[in-house]
Structure 1
């Protein structure tokens, strides 16, 4: 009898476990209704770009013989396919690309990525019923990688737009697009992180997901479980060329702001402070008297720019803007870029160890390519050595004018010592040491002589027109 009771207990436990697993499975989301309702408004986008005339010969194409069939097919699919003009003969070629998009208005406005349609001579949109229409490019914004297209139509299916600002890490999301040309492919995953910054992408707080995204998905919608678009699938992180578990989407709040501006005026206006900022790490936080690493450190200020006019100073650590905390330095461009030219920015900063507020009017961001002037590598005449292991010289009046500086010293020579270890080079301009402005070689030497030991010390260095703060420690 005890053995029978034991068996019955095991059976009961298995049944309870089975019920728990079944209940858990039932709770998993079902995407069928979402896909049925949303798919008609998701489109396939193909482009054609005319390439310069030249003779096309087999010798100009890579030799793919000997490769395994799957690899050969992969490379052939990725290469621009040449087309001869009608009537035969060689000459002009056409390169084609493929992507996705989605309809946001019944009269035919479509959102996609800028990189999907960049440099296209012809844009074709294929709808869910497989009809094809030529699209007009209304406007594009390379900085956010958003493009707005227009096709002719009435009462077209549209997608519901959500609020990306309400997203949280861990929420389910769904993507619909055309990876490798397979129309209306559905993939799912979760939000991995929000507000993610990517290199060279300063104005988009990306949504990071683990939704499988591949070539052809670009420009397609990312949905929440309510069937609302919360993002535009844009990029993946990969070392293989294919999906590796990390993908990024442009928040729909950002995309719609860009879309509305493109529709109204054909271009996008963004706020701009005219500063170069950098991350505050543990050592910099210690050198500036902060309790923990946070904020955006102002390393350089554009002369005559909004920050200079508003009283911001090099060495200020910006902790918040208009009440929004700056945890990582990349948070600042996201917030500033969302403002229009003339908008007010109330900055809370740490300056010389004290908190203060700086209010200024943001300007309009310059056209791409307009950067701070580069610094030259001219040398002065006065020379001074110091315990850092470098020889510095005064800036001449001509150099100050050329470099657009009021003070600082130029490194003439780097010897063995701390400076060599932290990567300083001849021609670097040092403007601040230990949070103090440098006005002469004597002042530099005096400050260097009094530097504390075994504590993080900051130094502001300009190299080729770019300024940054670096930290180091002097041993006993």
Structure 2
């Protein structure tokens, strides 16, 4: 009996051990996940190879405080010693400001690239090399819109400069390793590493924003320094950071090399940039605008106005058109068009694809040179007009532009359209940006408005067609022209 019980216990134990073994085996083979081990690259060889081509930029600006300096009287009765004292006192009123930045060598002859804001207002620019040699630099040219400047130094006879090579920023991918070298807080030759956090960032720094975002540590003084890929090629110029403390919080921005190369070449050759010009004012194609225009997707650049004369006007491009391709390059977002046009060779003729009234149309445009003169957008303040008709369902009043209106609102003699003489601040039109004093030129794509009755007739037709939105072609002040999508209640 005892033997039988022992055998039974032995069998039960064997079954239990087998079950446990099978369970463990399943857990190891079927449910286990072997984590990927990511090992960062060794940047030591790369840093050693390129660090001597990165320089420190020191600038000096002298500011005279003339208001606090007594004038030197031109009077023979004043003793010379007093005049000398006044002259010395005037000199002592001059204040010297200095700043630090970074740069890098792109040509052995002494051509150096940095940021335009690094040398802004500088009376003297000094380049400090890794071996301690200091040389005065001459400004070859700068481009404020892209924040790039090109300098020239004359190397000493025994000095050998090594130029860095540019790589293609278009080949970068989010997650790629990058290396930054610069002069943060005056600590030259500082190397930091990180990854590409994002591409094509727009931080409202300029009209051609297309930054590389990186978490490599970038601080004050890093501006103008290079951002390298793992091959030791410059794929960006460190330019800006976002920070609440003034120091790095892992959000830095670099100008892509593919943007910088063309600007650098132009500055080096001409001392200035020569950009292409189309002559249109554009805005974003929102979902509502796309729906109103009958577009399948909300992409491209909506033409709000066309300069006359301009390449666009000569080609027959009109307000309300949506530019979806320029020179064979697809325009997915509005902000892509200015960059593509700017990089187009002046005098060249390109194909421009537009959508008008739901149809695809191709235009041939000869690109001119952009006039760098900035246009100031004037504000227009008005009172309620006496001759106006309030459209209750839209929440604003309209008036015809008569001779009395031109005088009252100080408008141009040839102004076309209807003026917004009053608007309800809780209306959809107001919430979408329409304001008193705005001139509604037309309802896109209809003709120019001549009177309020014409405006109301178009609204009635839209309601019969079950349209929920209309596009108002609006002028504000002397320069701003925009298209507003307004709900039809």
TM range (shorter): 0.7 to 0.9
- 1:178 CA displacement: 1.0
| Cα distance, 1:352–1:381 mapped onto 2, change above 3 Å | farther
Q: Which residue of 1 aligns with 2:37?
A: 24
- 1:300 CA displacement: 1.4
Distance 1:297 1:188 in 2: 40
Alpha-carbon displacement from aligned partner over 1:304-340 (angstroms, at most 9, x marks no partner): 1221122110000111112211111001011001013
TM-score, structure 1 normalization: 0.83
| Cα distance, 1:372–1:349 mapped onto 2, change above 3 Å | farther
Distance 2:396 2:434 in 1: 9
Unmatched segments (≥5 aa) in structure 1: 57-84
Q: Does structure 1 retain, via aligned residues, the 8 Å contact 2:320–2:444?
A: no
Alpha-carbon displacement from aligned partner over 1:244-263 (angstroms, at most 9, x marks no partner): 33222112222221222122
Q: 2:283 is paired with a residue of what secondary structure?
A: strand
Q: Which residue of 2 aligns with 1:111?
A: 113
Q: Which residue of 1 aligns with 2:141?
A: 139
Q: Which residue of 2 aligns with 1:226?
A: 231
| Cα distance, 1:306–1:88 mapped onto 2, change above 3 Å | closer
Q: Does structure 2 retain, via aligned residues, the 8 Å contact 1:123–1:134?
A: yes
Alpha-carbon displacement from aligned partner over 1:69-105 (angstroms, at most 9, x marks no partner): xxxxxxxxxxxxxxxx999983211111110000011
- 1:206 CA displacement: 1.9
Q: Which residue among 250, 255, 273 is the counterpart of 1:250? A: 255
| Cα distance, 1:405–1:98 mapped onto 2, change above 3 Å | farther
Q: Which residue of 1 aligns with 2:436?
A: 426
Q: Does structure 1 retain, via aligned residues, the 8 Å contact 2:429–2:487?
A: no
Q: Which residue among 401, 405, 425 is the counterpart of 1:395? A: 401
- 1:171 CA displacement: 1.6
Alpha-carbon displacement from aligned partner over 1:52-82 (angstroms, at most 9, x marks no partner): 23699xxxxxxxxxxxxxxxxxxxxxxxxxx
Distance 1:194 1:296 in 2: 20
| Cα distance, 1:257–1:36 mapped onto 2, change above 3 Å | same
Unmatched segments (≥5 aa) in structure 2: 1-13, 69-86
Q: Which residue among 405, 408, 412 is the counterpart of 2:421? A: 412
TM-score, structure 2 normalization: 0.81
Q: Answer yes or no: is 1:151 the counterpart of 2:164.
A: no
| Cα distance, 1:382–1:342 mapped onto 2, change above 3 Å | farther
Q: 2:353 is paired with a residue of what secondary structure?
A: strand
Distance 2:412 2:278 in 1: 20
Q: Does structure 2 retain, via aligned residues, the 8 Å contact 1:287–1:434?
A: no
Q: Which residue among 44, 49, 52 is the counterpart of 2:64? A: 52
Q: Which residue among 463, 475, 488 is the counterpart of 1:462? A: 475
Distance 1:267 1:419 in 2: 43
Give the greater-gyration-radius structure (CA): 2
Distance 2:207 2:382 in 1: 29
Stretch of structure 1 that moved more, 117-126 or 402-411: 402-411
- 1:385 CA displacement: 3.5
Alpha-carbon displacement from aligned partner over 1:36-58 (angstroms, at most 9, x marks no partner): 001010001110000123699xx
Q: Which residue of 2 aligns with 1:448?
A: 459
* Aligned-residue CA RMSD (Å): 3.4
